[in-house]
Amino acid sequence: MLQFDTLIIGSGLAGLTLALKLADHHKIGLITKKSLTDGASSWAQGGIAAVLSDEDTPDAHTQDTMTAGAGLCDETATRYVVEHGKQAIDWLIAQGVPFTRDSNSEIGYHLTREGGHDRRRIIHAADATGFAVQQTLISKLLAHPNITVLEGYMSVDLITGKKLGLSNNRCYGAYALDTNTDEVITIAAQHTVLATGGSGKVYLYTTNPDTSTGDGIAMAWRAGCRVANMEFIQFHPTCLYHPHAKSFLISEAVRGEGGILKLPDGTRFMPHHDKRAELAPRDIVARAIDYEMKKAGLDCVYLDISHQSVEFLQEHFPNIYSRCLKLGINISREPIPVVPAAHYTCGGIVADLQARTDVKNLYAVGETAYSGLHGANRLASNSLLECLVFADSAARDILSMPLETSPTLPEWDDSQVTDADEHIVIAHNWAELRHFMWDYVGIVRTNKRLQRAQHRVQLLQNEINEYYAHFHVSSDLLELRNLVTNADLIVQSALSRHESRGLHYSRDYPDMLENPRPTILTPPGR
């Protein structure tokens, strides 16, 4: 049995920040499914939204966030995040993150603007902000003597008092599959933190990395935690449409710097859908693109930034410029083919301002959590800010508690299972799940589609549970099991919302209700 003061599951920005803020006082174990750089945080292009300029105010950022959230943002949580934004950015700068400089700016850094923001407030490192932040923090992490990093470890399930037959239901750690040896190990911890990201891989087309399989959400649900707002899956409007470009995102900042969305004949269409045109929030832009594609039978639409100079594009979007050029698209001369793709899970595990969940000593931070910040639609570049702010508040809460002795935990028992005789079941079910979620639970929904999806989810759950009960676990099986749980939660939530709001658009309920409430699901038997 491995033993730590705090176990952090996930190596995105939330997990890394929390580890660094705890490590001077706690022995930290950080596990990650693949390598430290394989999460969604490294893929974030645009930047981090924060009030840094004298021309900006916390009230303005809060209002933009709540407008994008379509009446479902928790105002207390939103203000909490916004008001801690500058402190979070100052901490990153102190760590050495190389944000893009601007000698003409009052703060010395370039601020860009993205859809839904009424002013420039996005601090960034060119068009690879997430990568720059992650690389900086990883170098600090690997140098800290109190942090043990376990790469290639896939969490199986949380170990709770309920599972141990105790009267309390606190969390004591987790079981994890060492994918290098196929051995399940026991990890004990005083505090366990889920920082596992979202569930974008439940959809056929996504901007997310392969690691985004909703593991934390599924484990927390099985452990007795409530989840909220799972129907609100953000589809990023502009994913590069190219057969050799897997999940490559064209940053929101391209539209912030003047990019225009066009049909194949060059006609601009966004002003017909919203007065903010290309700078409307993501849900509106994604639905507009989806509408235009279906109306004309298009494979994609086009994002045109060619009116900007080569020098401007290479300075502001060096990665997008070079990646497109390698694929034969010169963005200084021609538009970029784009389609919407599943991008961000706005709901998740219910957590408070200290990132505490319904299970004692279990925390949830980042995309895996429902903090109340995003409401029915996340405002661009608020996600990395959320990671930073709630990692800090979780760290302060964890450090305020005295350390106790962990009980001896039982080893993983696989004495009653055998090796799987064939793996085609997992591959087939994985493909089926992602296809019907895209077709039935996508950008535009109907009751009939949702009911079809629910029926198929139930059939898959039965097959996967039977498979899980009889065979040794594998990372593919664990991810599929978690994805099906996430799909079930998304469909349940979508069926229960009898209106169209934000990212949830239903043809059966096209209007908005007057008094909206979050969708909160409670695990059976809780």
Q: Which residues are catalytic?
A: 282
Contact 68, 116 (CB under 8 A): yes
279 contacts 216 by C-beta, under 8 angstroms? no
Token code pair at residue 5:
């003061």
DSSP state of 167: S
For the chain, the helix, strand and coil percentages under 3-state DSSP, each to the nearest 5: 35, 20, 45
DSSP string for 400-469: TSPP-PPPPPPPP--TT-B--S-SHHHHHHHHHHHHHHHHHSSSSB-HHHHHHHHHHHHHHHHHHHHHHH
CB 81 within 8 A of CB 382: yes
Is residue 293 within 8 Å of 299, Cβ to Cβ? Answer: yes
Q: Rounding to the nearest 10 degrees, give the CA dihedral for residues 20, 23, 25, 27.
A: 150
Dihedrals phi, psi of 262, to nearest 5 degrees: -135, 155
Cβ 29 vs Cβ 96: under 8 Å: no
Work out the burial of residue 143: count CB atoms within 10 Å of its CB; fewer than 13 is exposed, 13-18 middle, 19 or more buried: exposed
CA 428: distance to chain centroid? 25
Dist. CA 520–CA 347, nearest whole Å: 10
CA atoms within 13 A on the CB side of 102: 17
Indicate left, alpha or beta for 494 from its phi (over 0: left) and psi (-120 to 50: alpha): alpha
| Cα(339)–Cα(238) distance, integer angstroms | 5
